[in-house]
A and B are shown apart, each in its own frame.
Chain A
Amino acid sequence: MAEGGNDAGLVRAAQLGDVAAFSALVERHWRRLVGLARSVVGDLDAEDVVQDTLVTAWDRLSSLREPAAFRSWLMRSVARSAVRRARRRAWLQPLSSLAEPAAPVGEGCDGAIHVEQLLRRLAPRQRAVMHLTVVEGMSDSEIGDAMGIDAASVRSHRRRAREALRRLLPGEGR
């Protein structure tokens, strides 16, 4: 199914108060939104963040002037909520957990990459940029729009994320 293709009709109905239409939209976008939230806040909080964002989105639905842009509007909301939640969590994290590890993180003895562990080493915005680039295949301007920053900042976040990941995950030619 072309996600977002038939959103406009459902969005218009939902804007008129049709909960069933909104439910259909949630069903359609749930998995993708959880994927984004998961990259930013981790497995534990991702679904809560998305549910909370969807409830807020229902309240703000009337402010969406272009129903066809529902998907990117929702991605933007989830990206922002997830980044906020991740920052709050970072404040609550014990200092000991922020210390640099003695051994490289993110790669097990078997060569498997521990994605969540690696993402946790990045700033919340960098995580979102990496997800939207790699998983969603969005352009810099689309990502910038989704995150409320300009395309140059998107590139800068991605460059810094890549540098950090290369440090943490040496290549096979090391």
Chain B
Amino acid sequence: MTPMDTRRTPDGRFDEALRAWADRPPRLDPIAAARAVTSRLVERRRPPRLVWALATAAAVALAAAGVLVVRVANPPLAPQQVGLVLASPTLTEGQVLIWLDDRTPLYMTCAAPDAAAQ
């Protein structure tokens, strides 16, 4: 079979077309491709300072917000309240203590209806 005959077979025609197709120049020329790849390598190597700075700032802000929320939800007792709390008797089971103001405690006792009837 001569080379001309080979090209006329499906195999030969496909091989020829495949070689030509694969040989087309890529979109990126080799120099641009090398630049693109190395810039990706350099980018990965560079210590991500900005990212770390942002992460640290976010962590600090989050911690500050957490502390603020806890402080607002549980305000520290005034000195006189502390004295009253310390002076008040220990609550037994079913007792509830509500402070109406700084100096006025309200004790309540909760019990089941049948227990109250007895």
> Chain A contacts of B38 at CB under 8 A?
19-20, 22-23, 26
* A51: interface (CB < 8 Å): yes
The residues in B between 1 and 25 inclusive whose CB is less than 8 angstroms from any CB of A are: 8-11, 13-15, 17-19, 21-23, 25
B66 interfacial contact with A, CB 8 Å: no
- A26 near B37: Cβ-Cβ < 8 Å: yes
Q: What is the distance, in angstroms, from B1's C-beta to the closest C-beta of chain A?
A: 13
Mask: chain B, 19-34; 1 = CB below 8 Å from A; 0 = not:
1011101111011011
Interchain CB contact (< 8 A) of A165 among B10, B22, B27: B10
**Contact size class for B?**
20 to 34
Categorize the interface residue count of chain A. 35 or more
Min Cβ gap B43→A in Å is 10
Contacts of A34 in B (CB 8 A): 26
The interface residues of chain B lying within 8 Å CB-to-CB of A11 are none
Distance of B49 from chain A, by nearest CB (Å): 20
Interface-located stretch among A93-101, A141-149, A166-174: A166-174
A50 to chain B, nearest CB (A): 8
- Dominant secondary structure at the A interface: helix
Report the minimum CB–CB distance from B23 to chain A (whole Å): 7
Given A31-B30, A38-B22, are A171 and B37 also a contact pair (CB < 8 Å)? Answer: no
A131 to B33, CA, bound (A): 22
Least CB distance from A48 to B in Å reads 10
B33–chain A nearest beta-carbon distance, Å: 5
**Alpha-carbon distance A88/B31, docked complex (angstroms):** 30
Whose C-beta in chain B lies nearest to the C-beta of A29? B30
Q: Is B18 a contact of A39 with CB atoms below 8 Å?
A: yes
Contact check, B33 vs A51: say whether CB atoms are below 8 A apart: yes
Tell whether, in the assembled complex, residue B42 and residue A116 are in contact, meaning their CB atoms are under 8 Å apart. no
Q: Is A130 an interface residue (CB 8 A)?
A: yes
A-B contact pairs, 5 of them (CB 8 A): A47-B26, A51-B33, A51-B40, A55-B40, A135-B22
